[in-house]
Amino acid sequence: MKLIDKDTVKYVANLSRLSLDDGEISLYSKQLADILLYISKLNQLNTDETPLTSHVLPGLVNVKRPDTPGESLSPDEALANAPDKEGGFFRIPKVIEGK
């Protein structure tokens, strides 16, 4: 496993919508490198035949709800925490393009 470098930290920061200054990039690259080095001990284990655990209750499957209406919030409640709103909508800086 390669240790994390500054470019990777920048890439990951961008993916996470975080902007880091140079000091932070240096600090985090070092700290993350140390952490990843420690974590790399997982490589000592052979897990080729091991199934993965993405849910810790393996017997719990097929949990569903019926197609019946539940409680919705009123528009006022939905918008109560909005930092900016207009006419029943959440308002944000203009979005320029599609996804």
Partner 1 sequence: MEYEPVIGLEVHLQLSTRTKVFCGCSTLFGQSANSQTCPVCLGLPGSLPKLNAEAFRYAIKVALALGCEVQRFVKFDRKNYYYPDLPKNFQITQFDKPVAFNGEVILAYKDAPKMIRIKRVHLEEDAGKLIHEAAGAFSLVDYNRTGMPLLEIVTEPDIASPGEAYDYLVSLKAMISYLGVSDCDMEKGSLRCDANISMRPRGTSGLGVKVELKNMNSFKNVRAALEYEAARQAKALISGEKISQETRLWDVDKESTASMRSKEEAHDYRYFPEPDLVPLVIEKDTIEDIRREIPELPAAKAARFAADLKLSEYDAGVLVSDSRTAGFFEETIKLCGKPKAAANWITGGMMAEANERGVGIGGLGVTPQGLAGLIDMIEKGAISGKMAKDVLTEAIKTKKDPAAIVGSKGLSQISDASALEPIIKSVVEKNAKSVGDYRNGKLNALGYLVGQVMKETGGKANPALVNELLKKIIERV
Partner 2 sequence: MMGKFYESTAHSLREELAGNKASASGILTDILQRINAVDSEIKAYVRVSETAAKKAVSSLPTGASAGSLAGIPIALKDNLCVKNEETTCASRILKGFKPPYDATVVKKLKDAGAVLVGKTNMDEFAFGSSCETSCYGPTSNPHDTSRIPGGSSGGSAAAVASGTAVMALGSDTGGSIRQPAAMCGVVGLKPTYGRVSRYGLIAFASSLDQIGPITKDVEDSSLLLNVIAGHDEMDSTSVTEKDMPAGCYMPASDYRQFLKKDVKGLRIGVPKEYFGSGIDPDVLKSVNDAIAVFEKLGASVDRSLSLPHTEYAVSTYYIIGPAEASSNLARFDGVGYGFRADQAKDIIDMYTKTRSMGFGDEAKRRILLGTYSLASGYYDAYYLKALKVRTKIREDFVEAFKKVDCIVAPTTPTAAFRIGEKTKDPLSMYMSDVFTIPANLAGIPAISIPCGFTKEALPVGLQILAPAFREDVIFRAAYTYEQNTEWHLRRASI
Summarize as ranges the residues that interact with partner 1 (CB under 8 A).
14-15, 17, 54-55, 57, 60-75, 78-79, 86-99
**Which distant-in-sequence residues (6+ apart) come within 8 Å of 87 by Cβ?**
none
Residue from 23, 69, 83, 88 touching partner 2 (CB under 8 A): that is: 83
Least distance CB 99 / partner 1 (angstroms): 6
Residue from 23, 52, 86, 98 touching partner 2 (CB under 8 A): that is: 52
Give me the 10-49 binding string for partner 2, x by CB under 8 A, dash otherwise. Answer: -xxx-xxxxxx---x---x--xx-xxx-xxxxxx-x-x--
The rounded distance, in Å, linking the Cα atoms of 91 and 82 is: 8
Positive or negative CA dihedral for 26, 28, 29, 33? positive
Three-state secondary-structure class, residue 44: helix
The rounded distance, in Å, linking the Cα atoms of 51 and 49 is: 7
Q: How many CB atoms lie within 10 A of CB 3?
A: 13
Least distance CB 16 / partner 1 (angstroms): 9
Binding partner of 23, given partner 1, partner 2, none, CB within 5-8 angstroms per partner class: none
